[in-house]
């Protein structure tokens, strides 16, 4: 006869083999021929009368024996049915029946760490087709899917603004993937300054030109009329000086100083009827972490002259790092 109601999903109903037991009115304990977990797991019939677990019988010897309260008489008719699986037996879930809730996180956390980089041949489980079939895939296949590609760029949100100095990009450094602050490939530190007021310069005297108007100072590296970038590299440095009312044949110099000493200069001489003398200088200079650059001016007019700082033709000084040099 088939089951009434839902059929069992695991385990068995089986009649235990008790043929080796001898009932004689004095023996109370008999082998079950298997191991069960509790007395209630057994249906025991004694001469056609169903026995009550815990009252009429108990288990003994770890569930491998049954002990009757009253010793069965000689010739007693006893059969025992085991309900469900035996203790320690293997239960095989039916296909696709194990759900996520049945799994413990220790399934992951309890495993030994791989302790090394993932190799191409290492395997992962994937749901092939999203709700489809669970399949294995090699790490080599994951690389082709999850690796950096053009779509990683085209699919990303556009910054649409000048990146901050600490924004980062990813690049291959001789084959090793690394992140890089964008500032390392920007032309910074950079400064641009102007002279906001006139300055008297004595004849024949190299004089530090002061610059009190900062149009640009990306990293706060211009102070006390000197540019101290604090980042080693090559810098393009430039300056223009305008001296007022130099006599015919007189000249002026723009002089770049590095660490307090003459580095490079440029001269210009005033011709007839041109009293304004403008002289420019520019140079590419290597500066290390504490090197600094200043702009000095000099003329040979014969008496004090003015380095102009309050008109449209006024002195300026600037510098910026040459990225990549």
Partner 1 sequence: MDNLYYKVKLYLEDNSKTESEFDSNILLQNDADGNGDYIKTWSVSGVAKPTDSQLNALATNATKELNNAVIRNTRKNSYGSIGDQLDLLYKDMLAGKGDSTGEWFKSIKAVKDANAKEDA
Residues near partner 1 (CB under 8 A) are 199, 201-210, 225, 247-248, 262, 272-273, 275, 296, 301-303
Minimum CB–partner distance for residue 195 and partner 1 (Å): 12
Name the residue nearer to partner 1 (CB basis): 83 or 206: 206
Token output for 90: 């293997």
Token output for 3: 């089951």
Token output for 166: 């600490």
Neighbouring residues of 86: CB distance < 8 A, sequence distance ≥ 6: 34, 35, 36
Closest alpha carbon to 303 in 258, 259, 264, 250 = 250
Name the residue nearer to partner 1 (CB basis): 86 or 209: 209
Minimum CB–partner distance for residue 206 and partner 1 (Å): 5
Supply the DSSP symbol for 53. Answer: B
Give SS3 for 7: coil
C-alpha span between 106 and 113 (Å, rounded):
13
Query: From the CA atom positions of the chain, what is the Rg in Å?
Result: 47
Minimum CB–partner distance for residue 262 and partner 1 (Å): 8
Name the residue nearer to partner 1 (CB basis): 91 or 272: 272
Name the residue nearer to partner 1 (CB basis): 203 or 284: 203
Minimum CB–partner distance for residue 234 and partner 1 (Å): 26
Give SS3 for 13: strand
Beta strands in 87-175 (DSSP E): 123-128, 133-138, 168-173
Minimum CB–partner distance for residue 232 and partner 1 (Å): 25
Token output for 21: 């037991």
Minimum CB–partner distance for residue 287 and partner 1 (Å): 19
Name the residue nearer to partner 1 (CB basis): 36 or 295: 295
Name the residue nearer to partner 1 (CB basis): 139 or 206: 206
């Amino acid at each position: 006869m088939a089951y009434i109601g839902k059929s069992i999903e695991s385990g068995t109903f089986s009649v235990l083999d008790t043929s080796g037991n001898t009932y004689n009115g004095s023996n109370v304990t008999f082998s079950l021929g298997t191991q069960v977990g509790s007395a209630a797991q057994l249906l025991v019939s004694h001469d056609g009368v169903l026995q009550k677990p815990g009252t009429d019988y108990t288990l003994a010897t770890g569930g491998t024996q049954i002990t009757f309260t009253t010793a069965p008489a000689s010739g007693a008719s006893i059969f025992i049915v085991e309900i469900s699986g035996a203790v320690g037996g293997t239960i095989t879930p039916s296909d696709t029946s194990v759900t996520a809730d049945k799994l413990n996180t220790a399934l992951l956390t309890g495993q030994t760490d791989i302790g090394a980089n993932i190799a191409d041949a290492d395997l992962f489980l994937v749901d092939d087709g999203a709700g489809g079939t669970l399949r294995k895939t090699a790490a080599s296949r994951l690389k082709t899917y999850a690796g950096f590609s053009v779509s990683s760029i085209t699919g990303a949100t556009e910054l649409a603004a000048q990146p901050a100095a600490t924004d980062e990009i990813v690049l291959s450094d001789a084959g090793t993937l690394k992140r890089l602050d964008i500032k390392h490939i920007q032309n910074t530190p950079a400064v641009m300054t102007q002279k906001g007021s006139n300055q008297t310069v004595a004849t024949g005297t190299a004089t530090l030109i002061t610059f009190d108007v900062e149009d640009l100072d990306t990293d706060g590296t211009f102070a006390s009329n000197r540019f101290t970038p604090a980042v080693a590299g090559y810098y393009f440095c430039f300056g223009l000086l305008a001296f007022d009312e130099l006599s015919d044949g007189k000249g002026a110099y723009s002089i770049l100083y590095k660490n307090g000493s003459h580095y490079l200069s440029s001269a210009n001489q005033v011709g007839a009827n041109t009293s304004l003398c403008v002289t420019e200088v520019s140079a590419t200079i290597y500066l290390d972490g504490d090197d600094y650059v200043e702009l000095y001016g000099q003329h040979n007019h014969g008496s004090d002259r003015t380095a102009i700082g309050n008109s449209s033709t006024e002195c300026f000084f600037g510098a910026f790092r040459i990225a990549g040099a």
